[in-house]
Structure 1
């Protein structure tokens, strides 16, 4: 198992593996044989950034049995997915800020993120599983009142693609068994979401396989696997923390302007 992070340090950016309170610096391509330089940096001296900058940022809706049952939704056989603006990605500690003119509800949605490590198209589930480089935490932030602002056209891209609406991190974990993990989300320390990933309707390899039939996936692409019950609006000044054991905690303040 390894924990891969990206960081800023003394005006430069880099990446490496998290080892306790330090980062072992690597060079090359994260997804194609990165090698250690032998240098280590103290974690306290770094600013962690989003561990990946996806070319495609895909999110799933209605992918957990508990949420489907609570909302009365049918069980899907194919991923019900949308695209998030990849420029909405922010890293740990960066503020979540809705558009200045928006005064409606903003929801947190703690999720497991799949990070693709190789180009994959029309893959079977074995090939799809091999294409998953690792796992990360995602907060699929949503401006709820924008989603259905126009009765004739649900605005998924707009509601989920605002600047700062895609926190990812703090690391990409390799070698984890996703089915043994839980997602928890705490607001100011109070847990509001806590659900097992083995309640997923479509598991990771199937998600990647089915999406790859329609869309070629590339190294660095991210798929957020959907959320379960407990996603609620945030209030200004709240700190929202998404935790998955083995990956870490992705914490961001909700800080609207004004």
Structure 2
């Protein structure tokens, strides 16, 4: 099932998406995290009010996760284009909630950056508390998956010697448009993933090329931190980012980005610059 937070006439609501309609789940708060924390199964959609997707605004599905964890350098070809060696264990960094923004929302270029980049990523949505789980049991802790664009200010990222300031500026984590449950996605390691910039394909790969798999990432993280329902884990980006190109491609005012992941959907964001 695809879950979405949407609004009609400005009122946010939780809904379940089927084909071109979104069905109202009015008994739940307008946040997928709240639904996950309830532990309930998705109820029947029969007889529920619905709207055409074209008539609603879709918002970020999880607005306040406890943690936004990102995995860097998780596709071999991306390591090569950045001039870095493939890691022997997952490279971990974080984003903060101020970076979150939703489908069809603007991504803002910070006033102190001129080198802002794009990164299409599959994101894991944790479904239940996970602490010291094995790789074999890790997928049981996945509620579903969504899309994240790990927008990055490369000049800030590399000037600091660590990545926080360059990775977690306001609006630097567009996420959505839906959270798709684990059963509907199936194998998360066989999904096409792409990003277009102003209609031109920049990234085009498959999650089969991940260095560290979903179970490996969850198990690795859970040895030292407790993962909570609604936590987001971005699994890394494939090759084709702007910094890896010649000449380099940096985002500018008016650019349109679209990240598409098979079985999940398309996340669209326009760039607003200075």
Q: Please name the residue that 1:118 is paired with.
A: 128
Q: Please name the residue that 2:23 is paired with.
A: 24
Alignment length (residue pairs) = 252
Structure 2 unaligned regions, length at least 5: 29-33, 243-249
- For normalisation by structure 2, the TM-score amounts to 0.87
Tell me the SS of whatever aligns to 2:125: strand
Q: Which moved more, 1:170-179 or 1:109-118?
A: 170-179
Residue 9 (1) aligns with residue 8 (2): yes
Residue 56 (1) aligns with residue 76 (2): no
Of 218, 221, 235, the residue aligned with 2:228 is 218
Q: Which moved more, 1:169-178 or 1:205-214?
A: 169-178
Superposed, 1:8-157 pairs within 5 Å as: 8-26=7-25, 27-28=27-28, 29-31=34-36, 32-33=39-40, 34-35=42-43, 38-53=48-63, 54-99=65-110, 101-150=111-160, 154-157=161-164
Tell me the SS of whatever aligns to 1:30: helix
Please tell me the root mean square deviation across aligned C-alpha atoms, in Å.
Answer: 1.6
TM-aligned CA distance change 1:155 to 1:73, over 3 Å: closer
- Offset of residue 74 of structure 1: 3.2
Q: Please name the residue that 1:238 is paired with.
A: 255
4+ long deviations beyond 3 Å: 34-37, 69-75
- For normalisation by structure 1, the TM-score amounts to 0.92
Q: Answer whether contact 2:113 2:153 (CA < 8 A) is retained.
A: no
**Distance (whole Å) between structure 2 residues aligned to residue 36 and residue 48 of structure 1:** 21
**Distance (whole Å) between structure 2 residues aligned to residue 216 and residue 55 of structure 1:** 11
Structure 1 unaligned regions, length at least 5: none
Q: Deviations over 1:61-80 (max 9, x none)?
A: 11112222444533323211
Q: Deviations over 1:195-253 (max 9, x none)?
A: 11111010001101110111111111100001121111222211000001111110000
